[in-house]
Amino acid sequence: MKEQEKMGLAAIIRNNEADILAEWIREQAAGQKRKDPIQEVEARRVSKEFLAASVEAMNSGASVEGREWDRVRDILSELSASRAAQGFSPSETARFVFSLKQPVFTRLRSELERDPKAFAEQVWLATTLIDNLGLFTMEAYQKSREGVIQRQQRELLELSTPVVQLWDDILALPLIGTLDSGRTQVVMESLLEKIVSTGASIAIIDITGVPTVDTLVAQHLMKTVAAARLMGADCIISGIRPQIAQTIVHLGVDLSAVTTKASLGDAFAVALKRTGLKVSREAD
């Protein structure tokens, strides 16, 4: 029953494609504050693609959550991402989908005016479909924005990686602020990269500036130390404050395999000794 209904809608759209497209594009442009010829060409292309893909998906008779609608969703995701990047608002972006309603309803009415029952059914179908896709578009827009922000954060982190080379063989990584799982991972990965690029044998991870440490962060720290050891470098953790020491014990993290020192200075002294260096005062 549902299949036939959908095919009715699909057939009507297909038969009136050119008209619907023209009117739809006009509706899209009406809501836009900026007029841009390149934008218009692009909008025309995407609209045509979207319509064709939607008709195909409708013909399969599948519900909108099904795989048959993947192509349609892909088109919307791409559109959302590109509009988000260009600075369009969420509603401007979703308008792409919602503005399809009017042209479709107009055609439905002209094709089905003699059959009010069918008309009502098709309108309902079209409405739920378009609403569904419109909502999806807004979510895709949202995710895309979040993605951009996360990517920028990551790039910032990588650029500002606070790994300091204290001496030929010794690196220091002073961590500051609250660490979250994602940030910790990025920073730890870049520490390992720096170890390779500088050829350091010792890395001092200083957490004096870190107020709290949770299980996940502690685990990342331990994994990084283990990975560094596999690569042939040792890590020293310095700056563990009493509260953090308590947390670590409570969490059951095993630090016995890692050298820990109270301060960055102490850690540096140990590192120097390990690499066979000594700091001595010049006799004057």
Partner 1 sequence: MERIPILRMGSCLLVTIQVDMHDQLALTLQDDLTQRIVRDKARGVLMDISSLDVVDSFIGRMISNIAAMSRILDAQTVVVGMQPAVAITLVELGLDLKGVRTALNVEKGMSLLQAAA
Partner 2 sequence: MVRLRRRVRERAVAIGLSLVDQTKIVTAASELGRNTIQYGGGGQARISVAVNGTARGLSLQFADQGPGIADIELALTDGFTTGDGLGLGLSGARRLCDEFEIQSQPGQGTRVTIVRWKPF
Distance of CA 264 to the CA centre of its chain: 35
139 binds partner 2 (CB under 8 A): yes
Q: Which of 29, 186, 192, 244 binds partner 1 (CB under 8 A)?
A: 192
Strands across the sheet with 170-176, in order?
A: 164-167, 170-176, 202-209, 234-238, 259-261
Taking the least distance from each CB to partner 2, the nearer of 104 and 140 is 140
Measure the CA–CA gap between 24 and 44, rounded to whole angstroms: 9
CA distances to 127, 209, 252 from 111, rounded to whole Å, are 17, 70, 71
Question: Interface with partner 1 by CB under 8 A: which range of 1-9, 49-57, 173-181, 196-204?
Answer: 196-204
Separation between Cα atoms, residue 114 and residue 280, nearest integer Å: 101
Question: How much of the chain is in helix, strand and coil states, percent to nearest 5?
Answer: 70, 10, 25
201 touches, from partner 2, partner 1, none (C-beta below 5 to 8 Å by class): partner 1
Which residue lies nearer to partner 2 by CB, 22 or 148? 148
Residue 62 makes contact with partner 1 by CB under 8 A: no
| 29 interface partner picked from partner 2, partner 1, none, CB below 5 to 8 A per type | none
Q: Indicate whether 235 belongs to the interface with partner 1 (CB under 8 A).
A: no
Residue 273, contacted partner among partner 1, partner 2, none, CB below 5-8 A by kind: none
Longest dimension (CA), the chain: 109
Stretch that binds partner 2, among 72-80, 92-100, 121-129, 169-177 (CB under 8 A): 72-80
CA separation for the pair 93, 265 (Å, rounded)? 55
Answer for which of 27, 40, 68, 189 binds partner 1 (CB under 8 A) is 189
Q: Is 111 in the site for partner 1 (CB under 8 A)?
A: no
Intra-chain end-to-end CA distance of the chain, in Å: 100
Determine the residue type at 2.
K
- Which residues here bind partner 2, judged by CB under 8 A? 70, 73, 77, 80, 136, 139-140, 143-144, 146-148, 150-151, 189
- Which residues here bind partner 1, judged by CB under 8 A? 189, 192-193, 195-196, 199-201, 223, 226-233
